[in-house]
Structures are given as C-alpha cells and as structure tokens.
Amino acid sequence: MTRIHIIGGPGSGKSYIAGKLSKMLGLPKHELDNFFWDHESEYFGSQTPPVKRAEKLNKVIGQEKWIIEGVYHSWLEESFRQSDYIFILKTNVYVRDWRIVKRFVLRKVRLVSSPRKENVKTLTDLLKWNHQYDGNNLVEAIKLMKPYKDKVIILTKNDDVFKLFKKRKKSVGK
C-alpha cells in the first residue's frame, strides 16, 4: 500500500513528480486543482463547493493506493493522516516563477493543453501569490502536518524523491 501526498508552491514540480511516480510505482494520481476548481462552471475561477470537494477527496483517500498533489492544505488533514509519505517541495521561488511563465507561454501557443482560461492578469496574480506562498501557505500547511511529521520529507531537489523510491525498490527486491 502506498499513499503519497505532494505539496508545494505553483511551479514547484508537483505534477511532474506525481506523473513520474505514478508510472514508476503504478499508482493513480490526482490533482487537487480538479477538486478545488469547478471546471464545469461557465465562470473562470469558480470553486467547487466544499461539500462536493470533500466528497471527491474522500473517494480518493478511501482507496488503497494514490498520489495526491496540490498547493492546498486547509481542507486536507485527512489526506495527510492517510498518507504513507508527505513530500513538501521547497523549490526556489525564482525557479517556480520561470516554470509558471514557461507553462503559460506553452499553453498560449497551444503546445500544452489546459482547461484554464488564463490571461496576463491571471499570470501576474499567480506570480504574486507564488512569492507569498512559502511565507504564508506553506507555513500553515507545515503546522497542520505536525502530527504526521514522521511521514514528512522536505525536498529542495525534486529528483531526490525518485532516488528514495529506487532505493526502496532495491531493498525490497533483495
């Protein structure tokens, strides 16, 4: 049984790590943005009602195996509790800025698909939010994870997570 929760700021590499781990370990992955944002709404930026969001989350964490990734924390205590591993990505803020801008451009020129209707204002807002994330949201998330600190692994280099699971696979195979 492997349940992994990945948290980090925008552009920190959560989706990349979740995708690679999903293939490597054979685990289904879930993006919290798909729970938080109401993609069925005709209005960009509409949030899924908290009750419906909780239902979606509970359906996933009730499964034996999963990877959950996102920037959120305040409504995820049960996910933290159920996790076998909680990875906190502490990627440099300027690296995250670069990734956010790169992703925006790739979506605008349609090299990468996106359900989001982004524009320069939403990009600017995300970059501003990115710069306050570590000092606000991440601090609060870490406080919420205190009871589960034995499961928390803080990473500054995203590839370290893959090394951990490669070591684990080797030790299990012996």
pLDDT tens figures, 36-76: 988 777 676 788 889 999 999 999 999 999 999 999 998 99
User: In whole angstroms, what is the distance from residue 103 CA to residue 169 CA?
Assistant: 32
User: In whole angstroms, what is the distance from residue 173 CA to residue 3 CA?
Assistant: 20
Looking at the DSSP assignment, which residues form a beta bridge with residue 109? none
Which candidate, 22, 21, 32, places its Cα nearest to that of 57? 32
The amino acid at 166: K
Q: What is the CATH number of the domain that holds 131?
A: 3.40.50.300
Mean pLDDT of the chain, nearest integer: 89
Number of folded domains in the chain? 1
169 in any annotated domain: no
Check residues 174 and 101 and name the one with the higher pLDDT. 101
Q: How confident is the model at residue 168 (pLDDT cuts 50, 70, 90)?
A: low
Full-model pTM = 0.89
**Domain ranges, residue 30:** 3-159
